[in-house]
Structure 1
Amino acid sequence: MIQTLHLLRPYAAKHRRALALGGALAILEVLVGLAQPWPVSLLVGDVLTRAADGSGGTAGIAKGLSPGAAVAIGVASLVVIYVLAAVVDYWSTRLLSSTGLRMAADVRVDVYTHLQRQSLQYHAHQRVGDLTSRVTSDVDRMQDLLVQTLAVLLPNSMLVVGMATVMVLLDPTFAVVAFLATPLLGFVIFRSTRALKSAARRARTADGQVAAAAAEGLSVMPLVQASSLEERMRDRMESLSVTSLNQGLEATRLQARFSPVVDVASAASVAVVLAVGSWRVIEGRLSVAVLLVFLGYVSSLYKPLKALAKLSTITSKGTAAAERVADVLSLVPAVRSAPDAVPAGRLTGRIDLVDVTFSYGREPVLRDLTLHVDAGETLALVGRTGAGKSTVAALVPRLMDVQSGRVLHDGRDVRTLELASLRSQVSLVLQDCVLLHGTLYDNIACGRPGATQTEVMRAAKLALVDEFAHRLPRGLDTPVGERGVMLSGGQRQRIAIARAILRDTPILVLDEPTSALDVQSEQLIVQALEALPRDRTMLVIAHRLSTVRRADRVAVMEGGRLVEQGAPEWLLRGGGHFARLAGAGEGLFVTDTALPADGGRR
């Protein structure tokens, strides 16, 4: 719970005014609640009792009033107190609950934003479903904790303390008698809460595993159906669901014991107070009014205690969820701007990798790699799968950091530049182009928020998006479907290129933009690439010669090292690594008519 409070401290500070007002209303609510038994007790003790025994008149606070006036004032006071209690309870609950909801919404946004700041290496080792569960259901549990803590825990705790204080002031000895059952209740709640928190933590972990399995299965549905994996995926989900169910049932069992324990403690306390109090009234050592106040407080006392006992369930679940949320917020991004980082300014596009070594945790993917790209140059990176080409592409916008060596832009180490200003000047077009939910227009326009419609239409035209968009029912306003499933691979790639054109960055990285496309789609993509302005630096990772041919220079990678570089025509005729890759058909599907008619596959 302490960790949860520490986590929520900055969010509470943001809403301190609302919390202060809500706290004041909660205090007022407690004072009104403390006043509720008094009109009845005074009316009975000072008026009705005297009337019943024939002594007549009034006593105590009602002394000097006629019995009729005392009854009228007592009834009116009771009505006013209950109406005031209802009004204060409404505004206090509304204000504190809404503040809890706002704080939870802030937490959710911060958790999602913090996950976006984590490196690609972090996300490669995480399950999307589990992270989604932390952003959604875990924050929901925290939200329940916040709302219930502010709307239930705060006023009820103060009410219990207030009642206990008044009883002690009225009669300390009698107050001790009234609280005889409370230690037992507190012990049971404490023991059960610890066990419930542990069970809730296990349940949240199991729920995260279920969410991860569901997200994974639904995201690869074509593979599941094509490979007849439905039964296997069902069995896996059933196993995880049973585990989650068992943990949830254990938490429910622990929760169910609270109400009976509180009810028994409440009945015992009322019985003791009634018995001892009645005997003391008979002996003349206690007034009827005070006995009625005690009975009213004791019978009411266990209502907030019962609410607090039930709250321990929500607290346990919310605390377990908060620990998972805190785990995310406590992560320090592996790739982040240094405290003394400076804005990148407008880059010219010159890129240098100097003695770069990089590893994903196993064998190095890049080994002492040195590569220079001039401003405005188009460089094609080729090589077999696993040579390290995509890693180079990821290092350029600093999606990851090198283990040794340096990545330079205009001669400045990327680690000295503000991350956002650097990445804003690099556009990426990946092989697996995933689109966002929305329309074609939305997916192009998100490349540069604030772009005009004319600029978006121009980018769509240069990337040949209009070639297929005009055949769609709503043109550029046609929804693309979840992850762009309504479009072909070539169409998605052209949208990605249009997005890159709209960004208008000095550096463009194309990671195998045509390798998975058919010949016709490839030709359209190549045409779109050839339409790009030549005043930017382009780093092209390609497996097809049609894409490589337009490069100013080709760099051949093997085993994480640069083994050959030069103009594509010169390398093709040189008989080196590039020519052998092309001739053997290992990754380069040759379409150059200058090569043998058999396509170079010898």
Structure 2
Amino acid sequence: MTLKHYLLSAKKENLTLLFWLLVNTGCLLLHELLSSKAVTDLVALNLNQFLLNCAFILANSFIWMIQIRQVTTAREKAIQTMNTNIRKDISQTLADCHYQTFHQKDTATYTSWMTNDIQTIQDFGFETLELMIRQVLNVIGAAATLTLYHPSFLVSLLLLTALMGIIPKLFSVKLAEKTNDFSAKNEALTKTITDVLNGYDILKNAGKSNHISKKIEKASLLVKMSKITYARLFGTMMASQNATSFFSQLTVLTQAGLLFYLHLIPIGLVAQAQYFASITFAGLTGFFANYSELKTTAEIFSKFDLLRTPPSKNKCSTFVSDCYLKNISFQYGKNKIIQNFSLSFKKGEKISLTSPSGKGKSTLLKLLASQLYPQTGDIFVDGQTVDNLPLDQIVELVPQHLHLFDDSLRFNLTFGEPIPDDVLYRTLNDFQLDEFINDDLDRPLIKEGSDLSGGQKQRIALARAYLQNKPILLLDEATSAIDVNRAQKILDFLLQQPDKTIIYATHHLNQSDEQKFNQNLQFQSFINKSSI
């Protein structure tokens, strides 16, 4: 991801904006030239020519007013198109990256990327670049006019421009560092706000609601100090640039005075030289300062690229006969969760997996779902190794921690896939969701299902997983919040599906259910164990 890439992604919008910027520069330059000529004609008592120039100035001003309206709209279209493209690419990168890569950061960080960082790119990238283009156009127009007055001005302009270009280089590295620090502080603030507000009920119940403002204020102060530090450094650079600009303007004025003294230019051009010199060097001051800001966005784009994952050329898309986990191991840091564990099962088999809490059931299911990859050992599907290959086309996992989207019940069941209503209503019945059968499937769920019980959410999640129609279904304590009668009916329904391979992880399995499974595996741990 680069700034150039997104400028080109909105080529039409940016070309339209550039056109109106050119019109703006032309209007401003023409206004000054017409005003100067009108004064000259008035001094020469040429009234008709003076009035004609005034009419031209009026027409030019009308065009300039139209330009102001058009450039405002064109700017917003271009910026919003590029912002949308960045969000689209970040979200697609997140969608394509591996589960483990995604969870290296929390969702608050990604939220900050798609809000705070994009705002920074807009401020220091797109809007700054527009300013630079305006400045370049103004500088070119003013410098060309000065050169027409006398060629010696061109030499002075080139030398003084080179001098002004040195100062931003002295600050560019530090500015990039401060921008990165500000971005990190913004991420931390977003994370703190999300964390504290998610814990609102707990803090309120404990009588500690004052922690909400304290924690947010603390994180906000860090953002404040980071921004002030950046502003202080940027201000130092601008002060240096403006001092150089003042020196450059004085140099051109002195040169114009000498040229007049030598009778090489008329007295009227001395004032004009001062005016165009101020435009030139004020523009260069802004240009070089803005260029330093513009370069800081590269660090933000490089951060986005760290998540990019090369697309997998191979995928395991079929499950015909059997699956075999051979001597797999996995640990979090130094904590061994699974070591030298083996398991095999055939298509259509139903396996219960019982062990105490925190012993590795969820980790094992995540390994089977390719959300995690084994650090040692192999996984075989139909006799072929599938190490580090995504299994999402054949495996569906219903996790302990569920999420319902802030959308309709239909979307939460189908993910937007076109599934007929009769199939959906039949599935609602199969998963004991009778209370929704008479409801509108397109009715939005309230606040991500906050008005639903834990059991209702689990039943929706189970129905959703079933509708994915994958051959392997992994259930991680998937009925723990459902009342006993409904949970039993749902489990019986799933166990009666001949083409579904089901692994049911639970803390406790009723004895009456044991005979319904092909394998009943009970482990105190997954260290040096095998079901083969």
Deviations 1:282-337 (A, max 9, x none): 65321245335423323433554565477468647xx35x524421323344xx65
What is the DSSP-based 3-state SS (H/G/I as helix, E as strand, rest coil) of the residue aligned with 2:406? coil
1:458 aligns with 2:426: yes
Change in 2 beyond 3 A, CA 1:195/1:286: same
Corresponding residue number in structure 2 for 1:469 = 436
1:379 aligns with 2:314: no
Matching of residues 79-478 of structure 1 within 5 Å: 79-88=58-67, 91=70, 94-95=73-74, 97-174=76-153, 191=170, 195-232=174-211, 234-255=213-234, 277=256, 280-281=259-260, 284-288=263-267, 290-301=269-280, 304-305=283-284, 307-308=286-287, 311=290, 315=294, 319=296, 323-333=299-309, 337-339=311-313, 341=314, 344-348=316-320, 350-415=322-387, 419=390, 422-446=391-415, 449-466=417-434, 468-469=435-436
Change in 2 beyond 3 A, CA 1:563/1:251: closer
Change in 2 beyond 3 A, CA 1:150/1:174: closer
Change in 2 beyond 3 A, CA 1:82/1:115: same
RMSD between aligned residues: 3.6
| CA apart distance, 1:454 | 1.9
| CA apart distance, 1:432 | 2.0
Deviations 1:38-86 (A, max 9, x none): 22333444x34444xxxxxxxxxxxxxxx23432443333334444445
Letter in 1 for 2:338: L
Letter in 1 for 2:407: G
Q: Distance in 2 between matches of 1:43 and 1:359?
A: 83
1:525 aligns with 2:487: yes
User: For structure 1, which segment, 261-270 or 11-20, has the greater mean C-alpha deviation from structure 2 after superposition?
Assistant: 261-270
Q: Distance in 1 between matches of 2:96 and 2:199?
A: 26
Corresponding residue number in structure 1 for 2:457 = 492
Q: Distance in 1 between matches of 2:84 and 2:195?
A: 26
Change in 2 beyond 3 A, CA 1:295/1:425: same
Confirm or deny: 8 A CA contact 2:116 2:183 kept in the other structure. Answer: no
Greater relative contact order (CA < 8 Å, ≥ 6 in sequence):
2
Corresponding residue number in structure 2 for 1:55 = none
| CA apart distance, 1:248 | 1.9
Confirm or deny: 8 A CA contact 1:426 1:506 kept in the other structure. Answer: yes
Confirm or deny: 8 A CA contact 2:342 2:529 kept in the other structure. Answer: no
User: For structure 1, which segment, 500-509 or 281-290, has the greater mean C-alpha deviation from structure 2 after superposition?
Assistant: 281-290
Confirm or deny: 8 A CA contact 2:352 2:503 kept in the other structure. Answer: yes
Q: Normalized against structure 1, the TM-score is what?
A: 0.76
Letter in 2 for 1:460: L
Change in 2 beyond 3 A, CA 1:293/1:97: farther
Corresponding residue number in structure 1 for 2:6 = 11
Q: Distance in 1 between matches of 2:334 and 2:487?
A: 35
| CA apart distance, 1:150 | 4.2
Q: Normalized against structure 2, the TM-score is what?
A: 0.85
Provide the identity percentage: 21
Matching of residues 9-48 of structure 1 within 5 Å: 9-20=4-15, 22-23=17-18, 26-27=21-22, 29-45=24-40, 47-48=41-42
Q: Distance in 2 between matches of 1:539 and 1:142?
A: 47
Confirm or deny: 8 A CA contact 2:164 2:245 kept in the other structure. Answer: no
What is the DSSP-based 3-state SS (H/G/I as helix, E as strand, rest coil) of the residue aligned with 2:339? strand
Q: Distance in 2 between matches of 1:429 and 1:170?
A: 78
Confirm or deny: 8 A CA contact 1:37 1:293 kept in the other structure. Answer: no
Confirm or deny: 8 A CA contact 2:338 2:360 kept in the other structure. Answer: yes
Letter in 2 for 1:442: F
What is the DSSP-based 3-state SS (H/G/I as helix, E as strand, rest coil) of the residue aligned with 2:329? strand
What is the DSSP-based 3-state SS (H/G/I as helix, E as strand, rest coil) of the residue aligned with 2:2? helix
Change in 2 beyond 3 A, CA 1:398/1:104: same
Q: Distance in 2 between matches of 1:125 and 1:225?
A: 30
Change in 2 beyond 3 A, CA 1:362/1:125: farther
**Which sections of structure 2, spanning at least 5 residues, go unmatched?**
none
Letter in 1 for 2:306: S
| CA apart distance, 1:87 | 4.4
Larger radius of gyration between Structure 1 and Structure 2: 1
Corresponding residue number in structure 2 for 1:514 = 479
Confirm or deny: 8 A CA contact 1:97 1:147 kept in the other structure. Answer: no
Deviations 1:340-371 (A, max 9, x none): x15x4443373221232223332442222221
Deviations 1:110-134 (A, max 9, x none): 1122223333333444233222211
What is the DSSP-based 3-state SS (H/G/I as helix, E as strand, rest coil) of the residue aligned with 1:291? helix
**Which sections of structure 1, spanning at least 5 residues, go unmatched?**
1-5, 52-66, 567-602
What is the DSSP-based 3-state SS (H/G/I as helix, E as strand, rest coil) of the residue aligned with 1:434? coil
Confirm or deny: 8 A CA contact 2:409 2:445 kept in the other structure. Answer: yes
Corresponding residue number in structure 1 for 2:526 = 560
Confirm or deny: 8 A CA contact 2:343 2:530 kept in the other structure. Answer: no
| CA apart distance, 1:209 | 1.1
Matching of residues 539-578 of structure 1 within 5 Å: 539-546=503-510, 550-561=516-527, 563=529, 565=531
Deviations 1:529-560 (A, max 9, x none): 22233321111111121365532211233432
| CA apart distance, 1:148 | 1.0
Aligned residues: 528
User: For structure 1, which segment, 216-225 or 241-250, has the greater mean C-alpha deviation from structure 2 after superposition?
Assistant: 216-225
Confirm or deny: 8 A CA contact 1:101 1:143 kept in the other structure. Answer: no
Change in 2 beyond 3 A, CA 1:238/1:21: closer
Q: Distance in 2 between matches of 1:432 and 1:541?
A: 14
Deviations 1:226-250 (A, max 9, x none): 4455455554433322222212222
Q: Distance in 1 between matches of 2:530 and 2:342?
A: 12
Confirm or deny: 8 A CA contact 2:429 2:437 kept in the other structure. Answer: no
Confirm or deny: 8 A CA contact 1:490 1:522 kept in the other structure. Answer: no
